[in-house]
Amino acid sequence: MADERRGAMLTTREPDELPGDVHWYDLPEDEPEPEEVAAPRGRRLRAAGRVFTRSAAILLLLAAWEVLPRLGVVDPVFVPPLSENLAAGADLLVSGRLPEDLQASLVRSLSGFALALLLAIPLGLLIGWYRPMADALTPLLEVFRNTSAVALLPVFTLILGIGETTKVTFVLYACSWPILLNTISGVRTVEPLLIKSARSMGLKPYRLFQKVILPASVPAIFTGVRLAGAYSILVLLFAEMVGAKAGLGYLILDAQSNFRIPDMYAGIITISALGLLFNLLLIGVERRFSTWRTT
Amino acid sequence: MSVKIDIRNVRKEFRIRDTREPFTALAGTDLDVREGEFLTLVGPSGCGKSTLLDLIGGLTEPSGGEILIDGMPVSGPGLDRGVVFQQYALFPWRTARANVEFGLEAKGVPRAERAERARHHLDLVGLGGFEERYPHELSGGMRQRVAIARSLAFDPDVLLMDEPFAALDAQPRESLQEELLRIWEKTGKTVVFITHGIDEAVYLGQRVAVMTSRPGRIKEIVEVDFDTREGDLRAAPAFGEYRHHVWTLLRDEVAAAREQERKVAVGHG
């Protein structure tokens, strides 16, 4: 995804500075692919085969996790069999500890993520649209993007204390960069021919933005949003491990330091499931908004 | 017939990065396009054909001279002119119908009428039933049909076409040429059609304007008139004569353009 965008940036052309008869259109010639024709039975078999290939590696990992500790290949004290971890997870679920921590984490992640959407998308559109602003701000944005958010956590803690504000701001900060940078690049790499075509129909800058720039940037914005979704969970976990009294990060670290190893794995599995679920959700939303994309 | 587009002594220069001298695309270009005529414009590559079209479309401003439409100077783009580009320039997030409606939205046509006019114009270009397809679900020829329908739908007086069929294969190109003529006869629009194909220019144009190499001027305008267009027009002797005449006019210019390119390449090396 990221590479796709970079490729698009390299081919940015500047029509105004090109001389006469040069054609700067280079839209890919993507003819519709012929529909796959297959007998229903063959298709069903192939679908089953696909499901198998896609889940085989995961099933193998889970099986190994169950079997290897039981055989003593790995130390069952440090890596208990999967079933024990799941049982511990069920206990945590019933006791209310897991839902409580999950809720604490979700509230922080989602508020930070939502605030980042509200802040970074409009800002990115603005910066991308005003070329001088983009030129002036890009170096600064690069500096911030390449400064790990995690490195800045102590600064946030210093300024905002150790409460909820710090954690939400921290997530907001980390999520803003991918959204912001992808939005800017999305706006700036809109196919120049589309802009020219809309201009030829007399569209004024505001309408041009609303009817061409914005819809054309949607895929790039979504790339940023999905990255941000992953970051929101990633960085929050770190913040919760460093200083918190609730949340999945706290649960995992607390379980580890009290040697409740199955509890720790239960927390890790929950995080992993949460991340997957969030990503799937965002992909679903993305599909809804970009049915027109060929890929 | 009255003059629709009046191009008077037009000059167009571009600034180019890292050079002091401006790049002159057009100089001393004069051309009258008559109301309702089909004019084709041929010239060696790099002669400024597309620049001239951009100027008529109001997408850029001339560095000198003036362009009048119905006696009024061009002051920017407008819905009185429709542009069709070689690479279709369809909005990929809009269906065929919504693409055709684009110009109508810009014009402020009410929603119900927009849908009706989009359907009508898609029918006109032979795409009835493809209203809800996205551009990536259509072939190259169909996409160009959508683009033509889009430009016709907001009912411009002038259709500006920049090598619209150059990216198509021979078969869809010929059928689109025929249909374009049919639509032109039906709608009576003034058409300025750029091409680098001599056959296409002679086949489509009532007049063929031949341009010089850069900086482009109009070298000669060839009136094309066939006794009959019945049968295989391209095989008719008269067609061959027109074709040869235009080819002869172009030959020297193409050689000159090549010489220019060579010089530029040496200069940069």
DSSP collapsed to 3 states, chain A: CHHHHHHHHHCCCCHHHCCCCCCCCCCCCCCCCCCCCCCHHHHHHHHHHHHHHHHHHHHHHHHHHHHHHHHCCCCCCCCCCHHHHHHHHHHHHHHCHHHHHHHHHHHHHHHHHHHHHHHHHHHHHHHHHCHHHHHHHHHHHHHHHCCCHHHHHHHHHHHHCCCHHHHHHHHHHHHHHHHHHHHHHHHHCCCHHHHHHHHHCCCCHHHHHHHHHHHHHHHHHHHHHHHHHHHHHHHHHHHHHHCCCCCHHHHHHHHHHCCCHHHHHHHHHHHHHHHHHHHHHHHHHHHHHCCCCCC
Average pLDDT along chain A? 83
Judged by CB atoms closer than 8 Å, whether chains meet at A201 and B26 is answered as no
Please tell me which of the candidates A17, A27, A212 has its beta carbon nearest to residue B16.
A17
Backbone dihedral region for residue B18 (phi beyond 0: left; psi -120 to 50: alpha; all else: beta):
left
Bigger pLDDT: A7 vs A108: A108
Confidence band, pLDDT 50/70/90 cuts, at residue B268: low
Residues in chain A closer than 8 A to B49 (CB atoms)? 20-21
Relative to beta strand B190-194, strand B38-42 is parallel
- Give the amino acid at A262: P
Residues of A with CB under 8 A from a CB of B: 17-23, 25-27, 29-32, 193-194, 196-203, 207, 211-212, 215-216, 218, 290-294
In angstroms, how far is CA A120 from the centroid of its own chain? 14
- Tell me the residues of chain B between 156 and 195 that have a Cβ less than 8 Å away from chain A: 163, 167
pLDDT in tens, B125-171: 889 889 999 999 999 889 999 999 999 999 999 999 999 998 888 88
- For residues A183 and A120, the answer to whether their CB atoms sit within 8 Å is yes
DSSP readout, B23-57?
EEEEEEEEEEEETT-EEEEE--TTSSHHHHHHHHH
pLDDT at residue number A18: 36
Query: Does residue A70 register a pLDDT over 80?
Result: yes
pLDDT at residue number B172: 87
Please state the ipTM of this predicted complex.
Answer: 0.89
| Cα–Cα distance, A216 to A205 (Å, whole number) | 15
R_g of chain A computed on alpha carbons = 24
Question: Which of A190, A197, A207 is best to mutate for the B interface (most B CBs within 10 A)?
Answer: A197
Of A98-107, A126-135, B112-121, give the lowest mean pLDDT range: A126-135
User: Model pTM?
Assistant: 0.79
Please tell me which of the candidates A21, A199, A215 has its beta carbon nearest to residue B50.
A21
Residues in chain B closer than 8 A to A220 (CB atoms)? none
For chain A, give the percent of residues with pLDDT over 90. 55
- For residues A81 and A66, the answer to whether their CB atoms sit within 8 Å is yes
Residues in chain B closer than 8 A to A20 (CB atoms)? 12, 14, 25-26, 46-51, 214, 216
Residues in chain A closer than 8 A to B105 (CB atoms)? 211
For residue B103, give the chain A residue with the closest CA: A201
pLDDT in tens, A209-239: 999 999 999 999 999 999 999 999 999 898 8
Average pLDDT along chain B? 90
For residue B78, give the chain A residue with the closest CA: A202
CA atoms within 13 A on the CB side of B234: 9
pLDDT at residue number B138: 92
Judged by CB atoms closer than 8 Å, whether chains meet at B23 and A19 is answered as yes
Relative to beta strand B218-223, strand B207-211 is antiparallel
Query: Does residue A182 register a pLDDT over 80?
Result: yes
| Cα–Cα distance, A269 to A83 (Å, whole number) | 12
| Class of residue B42 by CB neighbours under 10 A (exposed 0-12, middle 13-18, buried 19+) | buried
Within an 8 Å CB–CB cutoff, is residue B50 touching chain A?
Answer: yes
Of B53, B191, B13, B45, nearest in space to A200 by CA: B53
Judged by CB atoms closer than 8 Å, whether chains meet at B83 and A200 is answered as yes
* Buried b / exposed e along A255-288 (16+ C-beta atoms within 10 A): bbeeebbbbbbbbbebbeebbeebeeebeeebee
Q: What average pLDDT does this structure show over A273-282?
A: 92
- Tell me the residues of chain B between 240 and 269 that have a Cβ less than 8 Å away from chain A: none
pLDDT at residue number B226: 85
Of A40-44, A187-191, B21-25, B233-237, give the lowest mean pLDDT range: A40-44
For residue A207, give the chain B residue with the closest CA: B106
Q: ∠ at Cα B162 (B157, B167), nearest 5°?
A: 135
pLDDT at residue number A54: 84
Residues in chain A closer than 8 A to B82 (CB atoms)? 200-201
- Give the amino acid at B142: M
Please tell me which of the candidates B78, B92, B136 has its beta carbon nearest to residue A202.
B78
Q: Structure tokens of A194?
A: 């589309």
- Tell me the residues of chain B between 71 and 100 that have a Cβ less than 8 Å away from chain A: 76-79, 81-83, 85-89, 91-94
Query: Does residue A205 register a pLDDT over 80?
Result: yes
pLDDT at residue number A294: 54
Q: What average pLDDT does this structure show over A81-90?
A: 93
Question: Which of B26, B56, B85, B93 is best to mutate for the A interface (most A CBs within 10 A)?
Answer: B93
pLDDT at residue number B216: 85
| Cα–Cα distance, A216 to A210 (Å, whole number) | 10
CB atoms within 10 A of CB B66: 13
Confidence band, pLDDT 50/70/90 cuts, at residue A178: very high
For residue B132, give the chain A residue with the closest CA: A292
Bigger pLDDT: A52 vs A262: A262
Residues in chain B closer than 8 A to A31 (CB atoms)? 139-140
- Tell me the residues of chain B between 51 and 70 that have a Cβ less than 8 Å away from chain A: 51, 57-59
Which domains, from first to last, does chain B contain? 1-80+161-235+243-261 (3.40.50.300), 88-155 (no CATH)
Strand, helix or coil for residue B72: strand
Query: Does residue B25 register a pLDDT over 80?
Result: yes
Minimum distance, in Å, between the CA of residue A230 and any CA atom of chain B: 27
pLDDT at residue number A88: 93
pLDDT in tens, A17-38: 333 333 333 333 444 444 444 5
Bigger pLDDT: A138 vs A187: A187
